[in-house]
Amino acid sequence: MYKASISLKVTCPNRDGKKGVGGCIFCSAGGSGEFASSSDMTVTGQIDLAVSRVSAKAGQDAGYIAYFQSFTNTYCDTGYLRSALEEAAGHPKVFAIAIGTRPDCLPSDMVDMLSEINRKIPVFIELGLQTSNDDTAVRINRCYKTEEFTEAVSRLNDRGIEVTAHIIFGLPGESEEDMMNTVRTAVESGCRGIKFTTLYVLEGTRLAEMYRDKEFEVLGMEEYFDIIDRALEIIPEDIVIHRLTGDGPKSLLIAPEWTKNKRMVINYINRRFGNG
């Protein structure tokens, strides 16, 4: 299975002034969807383009997860998202749907709709937790409290929808214990999956200004994976680790330098974790 990244014409409540402006300090103008297609294209067109990009290595028989990635995909009219999800579900190569969003953008009518779609095709919700430390959350301009995350996971689980938490290690001011507490929060909330990434600095973000002003340091590769190693020890075996780290677009990436060499990182992961 491969993910086909999709962009919709949506934004975020901490970008448009409802809760804040500027977005999270690490989030670029693309809303963390730099690898997705333009929202000016149809959903079907975006999936077709994503399939064409990976078809050589994926093969003709590969299945795809339609990944609504950029910005906050439930921060919109329920009917608009329903139409997009139904279009994705109708694509012959799509066998599941993943939706990136925020826990404070899941009103009851939206959850009802997601539950309905989930009965037709598997729907996975990806929630940006990043940290469970509410002081850090203020620092990164997340604009919601951690209790809203845990409450959203419970509501989604009650409707049979699995949740994946996004966690960032290396946020400014965080200790390693803060990071472990974030992992514990995700586990205890009932998430069925976790995505990890090291904090990376992208051009054009508030984080880039802070980095240039030497307000924090990014994690080195071995330092980061030492933290990952500790995190894996406290995660139950029935929770899926979807990602051990991520990488930003090289055209925007300022730091850390080691994330630019994806082959090196993958080889390191395989050597360190591949043999169990």
Q: Are 32 and 69 in contact (CB under 8 A)?
A: yes
Q: Range of 136's domain?
A: 2-273
DSSP H/E element including 241: strand 240-243
For position 230, what pLDDT does the model report?
97
| Residues 223-263: tens digit of each pLDDT | 999 999 999 999 999 999 999 998 888 889 999 999 999 99
State the pTM of this model. 0.94
Minimum mean pLDDT range among 14-28, 158-172, 187-201, 216-230:
14-28
Instruction: Tell me the pLDDT band of 276, cut-offs 50, 70 and 90.
Output: low
CB 118 within 8 A of CB 87: no
Q: What is residue 34's predicted lDDT score, i.e. its pLDDT?
A: 54
Q: Find the mean pLDDT for residues 170-177.
A: 97
What percent of the chain is predicted at pLDDT more than 70? 97
How much is the pLDDT for 33?
47
**SS3 label, residue 100:** strand
pLDDT in tens, 80-108: 999 999 999 999 999 999 999 999 999 99
Q: Which of 156, 67, 142 is nearest to 108 (CA)?
A: 156
With beta carbons less than 8 A apart as the criterion, state whether 67 and 43 touch: no
Q: How many domains is the chain partitioned into structurally?
A: 1
Are 144 and 137 in contact by the 8 Å Cβ rule? The answer is: yes
CATH number for the domain harbouring residue 85? 3.20.20.70
Q: What percent of the chain has pLDDT over 90?
A: 86
- Greater model confidence, 121 or 56: 121
Q: What is the pLDDT of residue 141?
A: 95
